[in-house]
Amino acid sequence: MRAETAKPVFSLWPGQPGAAPAEGGTPSTGMPAWASAARRAPGRLTALGLVALGFVLAAAVGGYLLGLAGDDAPGAWHLPAIVVGVLAVCLALAGSGLLALRLVRAERRALAIFERAGVSLWEEDWSPVAQAIIALKRAGIHDMQTHFTAHPDALRALRRQVTIRNVNAFTVQMMGARSPADFIGPLDRILPDTDQTFVQWLVALAAGAPVFRSEAHITRPDGSVIDTLFAAELPSDLDGFRHIIVTAIDITGYKASHARLVAAETELARASRVITVGTLTASLAHEVNSPLSAIVLNAEACMRWLRRPVPEIAEAEAAIAQLMQEATRARDVVARTRSFLSNTPRHRRLVDLAETARDAIMVVGREMRELGISVHFDADAGLPRVSADAVQIQQVLVNLLLNGAQAMSEVPGPRDLTIRLHAAAEAVQVDVQDCGCGIAAGLMERIFMPFQTTRPGGMGMGLAICRNCIESHGGRLWADSTPGQGTTFHFTLPVQG
């Protein structure tokens, strides 16, 4: 079998490394370790079962001893054998009763931990997911992310098959529900279509990762949405998929505070830009006015020298020379200012475009949720790095993602926005595809021109700036569109040799 480079799990958990396979790795068959692990004995040993087992053992021992007594003295009771049999029965019953008591206490302790942990706990059944992963791998499909990016409806169908079995009291309180019964049922009732973590669960499970943790937004019974930070120990065998325990923490308040902080920083940056523009304008006016004044003075002097009864040619030439020198100075001032304000990258470094794309997806996460957009991300493993200004490339991606989302804002049904990264002829290519209304053929030639927009209230500068930025990196930006089906924007960035 051809070895494939494993893709890391895309996690929103701060500082979370990509999921690694469990110890022992993924077997050479391509199956995760849990698929071939020995199954545990079916069923659960209960306290009542232990007591019943004790009665059976006691009866068996007693019958055996009485049978021995009957063989020694047919038709007569053998007192020592009877005493031993009774003691054996008592010991068997006492032992089974003690084990049953310990089991009851252990179950109560586990239930107490589940209910009083002070954190939201969910018991979920992911058995259909395990079977789906095994079926896909047997069919030769090992890249879950690529497969489900290309088949978003299959992803939705699989999410509907995951069921919530139980939740603790803290979860009921956190979610503003009446009882655990409000949650029992399919996972997709609380995990909206805009969620981006479910497919990463599949990637982690298919890789045999021991743990998965990330952020997710879930829907309360009243329809409101909260942000959560969750973690789960992933199963090591097939039986474990029936009882996956997920912990969740409500971080809605934290996210709201963070959003306010970002808004305040954005406003501060805007105010700083206004001050910078004012300072730059004053500096530019000063720098340009000085040579312009000198140009005017030298031009007037030249005219006076030439209007004399006997023109002073040498003096006029000197004045013209000074005029040319000041004009050159003014030109240099304008050139320096243009260079300062241009999109020419000033902080280039080797950039992982997949990481930059993930950052861009997180930046626009809230806007995607508000517009009901399902973002699907896929990147070839082992993509080479490119030399670029990471901030500018992230701005390009954010602009393209928002354009795609806004193009689908009025589209009924699922709104899938797909971003793919792949290698292409000495470059890395990025495709951002929406399923919106598309762009008419007559407009395609003008969409990258300044002040051209099809959106009410739009300035028409975003795509022009994006193309300018990509071209300044030595790349290319273009688009394909089919009216009624959607638009795909593509751009390439050259690989550093």
User: 473 and 353 in one domain?
Assistant: yes
Angstrom distance (rounded) from CA 449 to CA 472: 16
Residue 41 located in a structural domain: no
Last residue of a domain, one of 231, 250, 269: 250
> Percentage of the chain surpassing pLDDT 90?
27
Number of domains within the chain:
4
Residue 336 located in a structural domain: yes
Residue 226 located in a structural domain: yes
User: 377 and 287 in one domain?
Assistant: no
> Is 377 within 8 Å of 358 (Cβ atoms)?
yes
Residue 38 located in a structural domain: no
Residue 15 located in a structural domain: no
User: 471 and 358 in one domain?
Assistant: yes
User: 206 and 309 in one domain?
Assistant: no
Give pLDDT tens digits for 362-385: 878 888 888 889 999 999 988 999
pLDDT band at 75 (very low <50, low <70, confident <90, very high): very low
Give pLDDT tens digits for 200-244: 899 999 988 999 988 888 999 888 999 999 999 999 899 999 999
Last residue of a domain, one of 250, 283, 307: 250
pLDDT band at 15 (very low <50, low <70, confident <90, very high): very low
Residue 204 sits in a domain whose CATH number is: 3.30.450.20
pLDDT band at 22 (very low <50, low <70, confident <90, very high): very low
Residue 28 located in a structural domain: no
pLDDT of amino acid 2: 43
Q: Domain of residue 111: give its range.
A: 47-115
- Look at residue 78 and tell me whether its pLDDT is greater than 60: no
Angstrom distance (rounded) from CA 269 to CA 93: 77
pTM above 0.75, yes or no: no
User: 488 and 354 in one domain?
Assistant: yes
Residue 393 sits in a domain whose CATH number is: 3.30.565.10
User: Residue 197, Cβ neighbours under 10 Å: how many?
Assistant: 20
> Is 470 within 8 Å of 455 (Cβ atoms)?
no
Residue 10 located in a structural domain: no
Last residue of a domain, one of 341, 374, 397: 341
User: 402 and 277 in one domain?
Assistant: no
User: 205 and 69 in one domain?
Assistant: no
Give pLDDT tens digits for 396-440: 998 899 889 988 988 888 899 999 999 988 899 999 999 988 888
| Residues facing 226 on adjacent strands | 218
- Look at residue 474 and tell me whether its pLDDT is greater than 70: yes
> Percentage of the chain surpassing pLDDT 70?
74
Which of the 8 DSSP states describes residue 140?
T
User: 131 and 111 in one domain?
Assistant: no
What is the rounded average pLDDT of the residues 17-31? 53
User: 243 and 110 in one domain?
Assistant: no
User: 282 and 197 in one domain?
Assistant: no
User: 365 and 406 in one domain?
Assistant: yes
For residue 112, which amino acid is it?
A: A
Q: What is the mean pLDDT of the chain?
A: 79
The HSE-up count of residue 197 (CA atoms within 13 Å, CB side) is: 21
User: 396 and 260 in one domain?
Assistant: no
Give the residue from 366, 369, 363, 435 showing the smallest Cα distance to 398: 363
Residue 13 located in a structural domain: no
| Residues facing 388 on adjacent strands | 349
